[in-house]
Amino acid sequence: MSYETILTETDGAVTIITLNRPKALNALSSVVLEELIDAFAAYQADDSQLCAILTGSGDKAFAAGADIKEMSEKAAADFYLQDFFAKWTSHIVKTTRKPWIAAVNGFALGGGCELAMMADFIIASENAKFGQPEIKLGVAPGMGGSQRLTRAVGKSKAMEMCLTGRMMGAEEAERSNLVAKVVPHEELMAEAKKTAALIASMPPMAAIANKEMVNSAFEMTLDQGLVQERRLFQILTASEDKKEGMAAFIDKRDGNWKGR
Ligand code: CAA
């Protein structure tokens, strides 16, 4: 499939989606959104693909935010009537049940930071810079930044980031639990691919259930989350891959997964 603003490729069971507007620092226009929705749906639908990576092209940016030039021409009524930004969550986050990683190679600002935080986790290069600078444009985060950043780094730091619009470097982002791992810039994609291939080698149904459980920690009370965890665990015990996984452990060999 060929797109105007993104690139997609597969490497074994790993899908790599690259934001590809380097001259605009991969700003997230409406076309980017529609193309990402299509690419993530294709990844979700393809049984041969078991983990995805989202990254940005060029050396400078993952994504420097929603497209300011596009937004500058819109009226408030357009944003409201189109429920602008709603599709990111409804069409990408909620419908992508399989795992995906954000490999952040540079600026992840505004919507770029918010998009990275939609991933299951973030691997960052030493050059990565995160921020929610929307306040400087007279607005505020609109793609989940006030909620996901606060859940990731806590109120004090999230509040300071949103109110000052300052950027956070990779080392601080790792220390603040925003990213899972920081690696040298030139090793970013190798590390992301290695991690994605490892996830893709796991029993696929168990991967989806693990993702669902961890996400529930942000959406349910502790009691509800613990019940959901037990139910998903119990469902997995009925899978062929549970039988195979435990037999493989006892036989001291690798599992041969059926994905069910
Ligand atoms: N939208 C549209 N175009 C953008 C953009 C954006 N978010 N960010 C950068 N660009 C464009 C610039 O306009 C410039 O284009 P031209 O060459 O045509 O002038 C090109 O990308 C390169 O950018 P700079 O010349 O500014 O590069 P720099 O190295 O001097 O600065 C930067 C880099 C600090 C990231 C700076 O580009 C910047 O501050 N960008 C905007 C960041 C921002 O405010 N993001 C939040 C957007 S609002 C949002 O995302 C809402 C939301 O919550 C969803």
Q: Which amino acid is at 51?
A: C
Can you give the pLDDT at residue 134?
A: 98
User: 73 near 84, Cβ under 8 Å?
Assistant: no
What pTM was estimated for this model as a whole?
0.97
Whether the CB of 106 sits within 6 Å of ligand 1: no
Q: Given the CA of residue 66, which atom of ligand 1 is nearest to it?
A: 50
Q: Write the residue with the smallest CA distance to atom 14 of ligand 1.
A: 24
Q: Write the residue with the smallest CA distance to atom 3 of ligand 1.
A: 24
Local structure of 153: helix, strand or coil? helix
User: 154 near 185, Cβ under 8 Å?
Assistant: no
Residues 140-188 pLDDT 10s = 999 999 999 999 999 999 999 999 999 999 999 999 999 999 999 999 9
If you measure from the C-alpha of residue 41 to the centroid of ligand 1, how many angstroms do you get, rounded to a whole number? 28
Q: Which amino acid is at 60?
A: K
β-strand partners of 61: 107
Give the Å distances, CA to CA, from 78 to 28, 69, 75, 112.
Answer: 17, 15, 5, 22
CA distance 163 to 160: 5
If you measure from the C-alpha of residue 188 to the centroid of ligand 1, how many angstroms do you get, rounded to a whole number? 23
If you measure from the C-alpha of residue 229 to the centroid of ligand 1, how many angstroms do you get, rounded to a whole number? 41
Secondary structure letter of residue 158 according to DSSP? H
For a ligand 1 pocket test, name from 20, 36, 68 the mutation site with the most ligand atoms within 8 angstroms of its C-beta: 68
Helices (H) and strands (E) in the chain, counts: 12, 10
For a ligand 1 pocket test, name from 5, 25, 136 the mutation site with the most ligand atoms within 8 angstroms of its C-beta: 25
Q: Write the residue with the smallest CA distance to atom 47 of ligand 1.
A: 65
Whether the CB of 32 sits within 6 Å of ligand 1: no
Secondary structure letter of residue 144 according to DSSP? S
Whether the CB of 137 sits within 6 Å of ligand 1: yes
Can you give the pLDDT at residue 1?
A: 76
pLDDT at 10 over 80: yes
If you measure from the C-alpha of residue 42 to the centroid of ligand 1, how many angstroms do you get, rounded to a whole number? 29
Residues 231-245 pLDDT 10s = 999 999 999 999 999
Local structure of 103: helix, strand or coil? strand
Share of the chain above pLDDT 90, in %: 99
Q: Write the residue with the smallest CA distance to atom 53 of ligand 1.
A: 141
Whether the CB of 64 sits within 6 Å of ligand 1: yes
CA distance 28 to 239: 40
CA distance 170 to 71: 28
Residues 64-74 pLDDT 10s = 999 999 999 99
Distance spanning both ends of the chain, measured CA to CA: 28
CA distance 167 to 147: 17
Which of 124, 131, 83 is CA-nearest to residue 105?
124
Domains annotated on the chain, with CATH: 6-200 (3.90.226.10), 204-251 (1.10.12)
Write down the residue that tokens 């290069």 correspond to: 125
Please report which helix (H) or strand (E) contains residue 182, including its range. strand 181-183
Strand order in the sheet with 61-63: 61-63, 107-109, 129-131, 167-169
Annotated catalytic residues are 66, 111, 114, 134
Whether the CB of 149 sits within 6 Å of ligand 1: no
If you measure from the C-alpha of residue 105 to the centroid of ligand 1, how many angstroms do you get, rounded to a whole number? 15
Respond yes or no on whether ipTM tops 0.85: yes
